[in-house]
A and B are shown apart, each in its own frame.
Chain A
Amino acid sequence: MRTGRRLAIALLAGVLGGAASAQQAIDGLVSVTRSGLVYNRANNSFDVTVSVTNVSKAALQAPLAVMATNISASGVRLKGVDGRTAQGVPFVAAGLDRTGLPAGQSIRNVVLQFENPSRVAFTFRVSVANQLNASQVQLATASSDMRGPHEAFPRGVPSNDLLFFNWYSKPRINLQSAPAAWKSPAIGPWGMAYVPVHGNPATNTRLEIKDLQLWGLCRSGGERGWKLVQSYPRVGGMLYRADFSGDASDAIPADLRNERDGGVSVRLVEGRNFHFFGPGRRAFSPNGMPMLARFRARLVKDDPAGPDDRSIARIIASPGGDYWKDQTIPWAGDYVNNRDFAIGKFKYVRSQYRTYYAHNLSQSDLLVNRPPPLLPVPEWSPDPQGLTWTREPVENSPVPGEFEDSVLTGDFDGDGADDAFYYDHRNFRMWVGRFGGIDRMAWASGTRISPMGPTCVLACGWAISMATAAATCSSWLTAAITISASLDPPRRLAATTSTGPRRKPPWIARWRATCGWATSTATAAATSSSTSRRPADTGWGFQTARRN
């Protein structure tokens, strides 16, 4: 047993060492040759062909991304790209099949096209990345985020209260499962952001949070591996006292601002911490499933026209997740109705995105079960023409549970009542519901995606209007809505989907059968955490979206 543990730790150390530098790691595994530039008159571009040879002893996983970095001229950029890396670097995907690039093999003639309108001389570096490299980086981050002391200690948190604040100086793993006495437990991710003990001199910097996710590790059945439990591209939250005294009743609204890339930014206030979370908990069977929470964060300028003082900004952040007695029960004191499974390391937030992890796996277990890859942010077309509306009866439409990857709430149509906007980014479908009045409901699907932003709100409004029209014209919808009108939101959603055949993707059924997820979700119930003490009906939603 000890030998196995040592071996696992040694392997992990090897991986961490290899993952210390993201791009260089894969660049060291390949040999890259490139041709000279040619002038492509058809595209008015300057093109180069690149050959990549796998000089490592193992196959490189597809897709293989070829990037041009360190371009020396500012007016020159890569065109015709296939995508961007998590760091925003454009890349061209090498044409590999699913087997990837075997050891010793080459892929030739990957074409990079440069737009160079001024025809200035330029140099560039060819870099190669692939999923293997990203996986190594995520593994290294997830491992490091649960070990050692914080990068800085949170200001205002009692350092001598080892009962409730033993997370002051270092991350902690808490429960491996919800207490057995909790018969219908639920779960939800959250995060905290503080000014460190030595203060924050920056005055024009905001903290941007994005992609708060909760994952569960399924160890049994046919769907082994990490499963996405909840995902919130945009989070909500409030400014709590640094020591959480007074909890939500003493919390003040946060100055939230929706950012163009889909995140939410906030200005931290002296003496307060920004405690953030998603809008719902998820029902959960206490089977000892390891959990992993994470988000991404970076610094953005508060006033875009103001000075850029992000380099001197000092803000730290950490994720966590809570088990709850059930989906709707409110906070009732420390560790009464909710307890966390882990609190991650407080790390500085930088100008570039960093990923923050909290999980309750051992290091050796983590090595075997590498963290899931970072998913792209769910995106929706701001163009209503990109959506295809269906007129199927409600009972035949997908259940909201399949759309609960993310939920946006807010007054999208400006009628003074909260609306709900669910989406399923695997299949690019959405469900538009309503919390206040129950007279509008429909679902739609679309295949066209583009960045989410303020225009999304307009799309939502349009979608709801279309849903209203559909409701007027379709007797089935009217009937279903009438039936559900007298129910509270969770029951209403369950009722509208309880009759007739459900069209679940097969993996949903298998996953729930093997991993024990309940089929209902209290999407309207507010989430709080062990540290939040937030009442269940604050309904913070995403009202701040309208401030822009």
Chain B
Amino acid sequence: MYRFQWRRALSMACAGMLAVGSFSASAWTVSLDLHGLSDPPQPLQLAFDFIDGGAPSNTVVVSDLAMAGPGRFEEEFSFGGASGSHRTSLSFTDSTFLSGYLADFVAGPSLSFHLASTSNAPVGDSAPDSFAVYVLDRVTGASRVASTDPTGANALLRFDVTGVSGGRMSVFSVPSGEVLAVAVPEPQTVWLLIGGLAALGGRSVWRARRRQP
């Protein structure tokens, strides 16, 4: 009897967490190898675009934005539903159609950041909310490198909030070799939580069995 209650409680907790969409989240570690742009240093601009594809709302948070070596960030600017700074973290909401963050920078050997988002799937005719990363020419505002992005927008990567665990990350290569983007998924918090609960439940069950004669 005692063992049955623990199992049921554990199952309900897991099911409840999975059912609440806003509880699920996606997280990635992204790094950009900028060796091709750092020697000699060039006036560049880092651009993050977050585009609202329709209901429901999602939020993307960029944290730990760091430039290696002699590279440095200079002026930064955000618009739409974007806020924050590279020194702390950047938050993007889809309160407007296009939200963005622009940061002038002098390229170092590499750049990295963490990317986390909610995972609310698009409904109806909505497209997935989309987050994309570009390296622009600071003077012209055009993309500094040509990537294999099929749209011709020359994004280095595009993250679509599909509602599926982890979202859909598309990393585009740069044929010239000037930039190399890498995105690595991080274990999701919810699965860590489920794992922890499962361990607790298992331990309780084990202890209950031990008490039984």
Contact = CB atoms under 8 A, between A and B. Distances in A.
Given A35-B160, A38-B51, A42-B143, A49 B153 contact: no
B201 to A, nearest CB: 38
A123 to B, nearest CB: 4
Interface in B118-139: 124-132, 134, 136
Contact of B130 (A35, A41, A109, A119): A35
A37 interface: yes
B142 interface: yes
A46 interface: yes
Interface string A18-56: 000000000000000011111111110011110000000
Interface string B94-118: 1011101000000000000000000
A39 B150 CA distance: 13
Given A35-B130, A119-B98, A120-B97, A40 B151 contact: yes
A47 B151 contact: yes
B152 A124 contact: no
A125 B152 contact: no
A70 interface: yes
A35 B159 CA distance: 9
B152 A111 contact: yes
Interface string B41-75: 00000000101111000000000000000000000
B141 interface: yes
B151 A111 contact: yes
A85 interface: no
B150 A37 contact: no
B160 A119 contact: no
B132 A39 contact: yes
Chain B interface secondary structure, helix, strand, loop or mixed?
A: loop
Nearest to B167: A36
Contacts of A34: 127-128
Interface in B140-159: 141-143, 149-155, 158
A48 B152 CA distance: 10
B170 interface: yes
Given A37-B127, A37-B130, A121 B97 contact: yes
A275 B49 CA distance: 60
B82 interface: no
B34 interface: no
A71 to B, nearest CB: 9
Contacts of B134: 41
B141 A36 contact: no
Nearest to A40: B153
Contact of A41 (B94, B97, B142, B158): B142
Nearest to A124: B125
A72 interface: yes
B169 to A, nearest CB: 11
B179 interface: no
Interface in A94-115: 108-109, 111, 113
A34 B134 CA distance: 21
A245 to B, nearest CB: 56
B161 interface: yes
Name, among B125, B130, B131, the residue most crowded by chain A CB atoms within 10 Å (CB to CB): B125
A36 B150 contact: no
Given A121-B97, A123-B53, A123-B54, A39 B125 contact: no
Interface residues of B, number: 36
A49 to B, nearest CB: 5
Contacts of A36: 51, 53, 127-131, 158, 160-161
Contacts of A41: 134, 136, 141-143, 153
B140 to A, nearest CB: 9
Nearest to A76: B97
A464 B130 CA distance: 58
Contacts of A109: 150
A211 to B, nearest CB: 33
Given A35-B128, A35-B130, A72-B125, A121 B153 contact: no
B124 A123 contact: yes
Contacts of B154: 42
B137 to A, nearest CB: 10
Nearest to B162: A36
Name, among B97, B134, B141, the residue most crowded by chain A CB atoms within 10 Å (CB to CB): B97
Interface string A105-140: 000110101001001111111000000000000000
Contacts of A113: 151
Interface string A311-325: 000000000000000
Contacts of B53: 36-37, 123
Contacts of B131: 36
Given A35-B160, A46-B51, A121-B54, A40 B125 contact: no
Contacts of B97: 116, 119-122
Interface in A227-257: none
A35 B160 CA distance: 7
B125 A123 contact: yes
Contacts of B150: 49, 108-109, 111
A124 B127 contact: yes
Given A38-B149, A47-B151, A123 B143 contact: no
A39 B153 CA distance: 7
B54 A39 contact: no
A109 B152 CA distance: 11
A125 B124 CA distance: 9
Nearest to B98: A119
A353 B49 CA distance: 42
B152 A43 contact: yes
Contacts of B161: 36
Contacts of A47: 151-153
Q: Which 4 A-B pairs have the closest CB atoms?
A: A36-B130, A47-B151, A109-B150, A40-B153
Interface of B: 49, 51-54, 94, 96-98, 100, 124-132, 134, 136, 141-143, 149-155, 158, 160-161, 168, 170
Interface of A: 34-43, 46-49, 70, 72, 108-109, 111, 113, 116, 119-125
11 contacts: A35-B128, A35-B130, A36-B53, A38-B130, A38-B153, A39-B153, A40-B153, A43-B152, A47-B151, A49-B150, A121-B97
